[in-house]
Structure 1
Amino acid sequence: MIPPGLMISAPASGTGKTTLMLGLLAAFRAQGIEVQPFKSGPDYIDPAFHTAASGRASFNLDSWSMDRARIDGLAGNAAGADLILAEGSMGLFDGVARPGGCGNGASADIATLMGWPVVLVLDVSGAAQSVAATALGFSKMRPEMPFAGVVLNRVASPRHETLVRVGMEQVGVKVLGSLPRRSEIELPERHLGLVQAGEQENLPDLLADAAAFVAEHVDLQALRAAAGGATDAIKDPAKVIPPGQRIALAQDSAFAFVYPHLLAGWRAAGAEVLPFSPLADEAPDDSADVCWLPGGYPELHAGTLAAAERFRAGLQKFAQARPVHGECGGYMAMGAGLIDKDGTRHQMTGLLGLETSFAKRKFHLGYRKADLNAPLPGHAVRARLTGHEFHYATILEEPDEPLAHITDANDQPVPETGSLRRYEGGGCATGTFFHMIAEGV
């Protein structure tokens, strides 16, 4: 059985939904309630925090890059849990202009598709009864979307809370909790979002603090009772084609962004994942038949990677006869050089001629469609992939053969085509700046 669920969302980013989400996960877990977390949208970082808080692997659900069958299949990971909590991205209705697989990427799409009522987190600082107008508008904008109520955040005082509640009563919106203004449990951020869960030394303390804070100020029983969308129907997960049978996967603080549903799909298909750490100067396992370098933060570790001679030599040897693929940060590490924010160039592995710079920062964000010009590990030529790009690197040179014709969500061409280099021994190096999510949407 798939248990009932809720969508934790907000009018905009920075409103406090991640703090509430993590506090709820940890608070329910402390009560012995099994909660299955999901992340609406293509965010790479939040699912690891969800997993730490809940003890269950979190998965992305995305209405633009996934079709309904894939979303339903991923929801099957909630079997055996008591409750589903999905965290939204950006504002509740924010998405792209042109729909994709089964929506435009908005959290409201997932809430409506799955029947999970929305819990709207409202930053009430600087207003009182007027906040009710915002809540009413969000509850009515899509009549087919289930709506549970609101959690007030950054409440200044008991008097302030009373005034806000008066407004909510006037428009018939239920208040499920009221969080006083507090900064101690806010998580540190860097240029791509939150610092990764694996780098948070005090994460258990932060989660325990968030659990206690949320349990004190949110009606957990009422919130759980508001959940909906339970079903006995468990759909088979959409198959994920692994890039190989034995996959050497770079895994450390520089290479950590790989979608959980892909890893789970690879393993479900019978593939074996062989982790290695470039930062520890480890080479990919020589018994692997493919090497995968995920995204991450190579720009923060460029000096260490430049000095990792065993890693560089091992990767170069591997690529002579077998495929190596990199996404975003992994793609940059496969290039010839990376210039850090201070203007210092660091030698990378040189599998490709790519030169990138963080001294000349430029924000790249958005969904991507790729029509492959050449085979990619696990995907044939002309396969159509969906993915997401999020980085600040500037390309100085991308001289190798273009890997794909890439467009954005509005079908406009994207100049970052990815790269392909073939080797005489039968191997190849491929890379893209987008993180792959699915094929065939």
Structure 2
Amino acid sequence: MNRRFSARARLAGFAALLCVVAVLGVALPLSVELNSQQAQSQRQAVVVLAQTIAQLQVGDTPPELTVDGLIGLGVLGERRELIHQRGLTDALVETYARRCPPRLVPGRAVVVSTSGESGPVAACAPLTGGKALLVVAEREGSSAQVRRRRLLVMVIAFGCMAAGLSADVVRRALSPLQEVTDAARQLTQGELGVRLAPPGDAEFLPLADAINQLAATLATRQDEISARLELTRQLAAIVAHEVRNPLQSLTMLTDVIAHEPELAERLKLLDMSLREVALIEVVVQRLVGSGGELRLVRGQASLTELLERCVAMLGPRAREGKVTLKAELPPERLVASVDAALLRRAVENLLLNALQILSEAGGGVVQVALSRAEAPARAIFVVDDSGPGVPLVDRARIFQLGVTNRRGGTGLGLALTKQVIDAHGGTLGVEDSPLRGARFILSIPLEVD
């Protein structure tokens, strides 16, 4: 399996290669120059020593052998045979004795080793009687070795400094990239609030901007998804509420049908049940299709008949809860352009809210009245109950979603009722009732612009 090196490793390797090239570029010429200077200096020292010793007279004080790395001395005869030696080996004598010229200029030594050789440095100086002095020394003395070691240490130190500098350069160069990597990792972990500061390197600025835009886009999308999920949850709760309550009424109505002896009355109740089922379907379609915003389907409807059906449908529930449900209808037939399905559900929710509170309290009275008002023309539904009422501190928020004045309530019925009335251009309020409970006043215009 092939494994690719990371960008950090590749940059570090490239920087190290540059360091090696730089070190070699400095060290090699310096080493060559140092070797050349050392070889020349050593040859000069050997020549001077040979000339100095050759010029000694009897009784002179011998000079100090100051040549660094001196191997030995030898005295050669006229035929350049070895007469005397000190510290030389036969191989050295044989190599350099043959190179010593038969005739030498008095007082002047000559180098008999070549500069291209890797061996010792040798020089011959003339002696009396045709003899010659052979001086042999190491090509590189101990001091030169010390200097070479120092050079090596300097090169290593320079290399380490260059490597450290290159590592710091790589770290600084890749620091913005590491920040981008960390930010991307935080995004994958759901931390959508992460933002990158503008990097110092212009090359990384587009990448940082892209990461910030991505984080902002993801945060926006997450907010949108959360809002949609919340809307879906609310719609599901409202639909369940608007199905559950009518089903309870249908269940009670079915029981009434089962015990009704008169056929005509049973058929009437059955027709009411079918109408209620159809109404449930219409309301659910309205709510689901609204996408969170109610859209009315208006039509001419009799508000008087609408209220009569509400009271008839809720009659069994009122009797079961020991609640007296009364309706006061206007003498004339009120007709308005409304969404009959949603308006009926809104009125039913007001009545159901009162019935449920009184049923839990052991009974009471609920009274609903429909009337007409002028200037402007409007229909007014008034629902009174003899329950505990709505405290003043709760009246401003009783129609908000999730707020309820009943134990075990969902806070959906009154909120949906308020939405329906607002969509009709009407008003909905609550105040104290003459029955010592709550009075809900629902008003909608009879004329639609």
Query: Does TM-score exceed 0.5, indicating one fold?
Result: no
Q: TM-score, normalised by structure 1?
A: 0.19
Q: TM-score, normalised by structure 2?
A: 0.19
- Structure showing greater radius of gyration is 2
User: Would you tell me which structure has more strand in proportion to its own residues?
Assistant: 1
Q: Which has the higher contact order (CA 8 A, sep 6+)?
A: 1
